Structure 1
Amino acid sequence: MKKKILKSAVILAVTLGTSAFNDIDTKKVDIEKSEVTWKGYKVTGSHEGTVALKSGELEFNGETLTGGNFAVDMTTIGSTDLSGDYKGKLDGHLKSDDFFGVEKFPTATLKITNAKANGKNSYEVTGDLTIKGKTNPVTFTMSVYENKANATVKIDRAKYDVRYGSGSFFDNLGDKTIYDEFDLVVDLAF
């Protein structure tokens, strides 16, 4: 009798455990309707631009955000605040090994490892961000409402070996210093 009860308990536990996984709803991000913009800062000003998503998905348990994965096409990085030769020079420099080395590292990724509700439609998200083959944790706030999500993410480029003009790697740069932190503003549609 004890064996039958134990066997029934094990079957029930496995069934309940399996059904918990079935509650995850993966929603594909519409990369055509989504936008990722960046803004980098230097002593004498700033530059801004865009970079395109290759793919993305958010995972939900019911209406609660639980995870997600994103791939960014680094070959599309470009400035939006310049035009002509200046734009071409900056865009080329951002793609070079001085910055993101897109020939060798064409894709950056983010895997959400934890999402904790911190208000209505708001989450504190932690994830593993990989740029130039280096992975570091990032934490940011993401708002999710109906079929849209947005976040602003501060990234320390020094952690990803993006060295050009960085005071973390070079001394005496003066007004040529480019700050290590840059912002990504992410607006997602799914």
Structure 2
Amino acid sequence: MVSKSTLICIPDISGFTRFMSDTDIELSARVIPSLLNEIIYANEINLKVSEIEGDAVLFFRKGQLPPFVDLIDQCKTFFSQFYNQLDVLTKKYSEEKGIDNIPKLGLKIILHYGENVESVQIGNRIKLMGEDVIIAHRLLKNDIKEDEYLLISEDLLNQYEDSTIERNFDWGEFQDNEQVYKHIGEINYSYIKMYKLLD
């Protein structure tokens, strides 16, 4: 096992459970893998895939962090490519099967950074373990009342100089929040609504 400072990135499909229950298995077996593949192929900052978790991809990157602007641009690329593919699939299956519920899906992205991450080789995959992996996954469960957002933990933001972090964007504004998790405690984070990128 190798422990090293690690960037964790989890793009997660919102509305997955509802979509799976409202859609026949044949359609869902085509739509969800297509969207996850689009996310994986949109990776431009040398993130590694640890796991595909049903409705999410667990990316990681060890060592030096990318510049903050590159990290944000990567998340914007994940988001735009996801929705471009969603539009393609919606049109395709609306024409073929008269289905119009695919747009209920959304995308949220969790970014976290920590030193408590262990890498374990299992087959041809790297399994991530440790408290910071747990924290990243717990951050998916939060009080944000949106289906499309980017959440960045305070631990990750602290790795960048304040001057390099633009807290206001032409497509939204970061908001600060915190969440208390059992056995972990309070985790501070900032988030930004992503839906304005669709305008």
Normalising by structure 1, report the TM-score. 0.27
Larger radius of gyration: 1
Whose helix proportion is higher, 1 or 2?
A: 2
Q: Which has the higher contact order (CA 8 A, sep 6+)?
A: 2
The structure that is strand-richer by fraction is: 1
Structure-2-length-normalised TM-score: 0.26
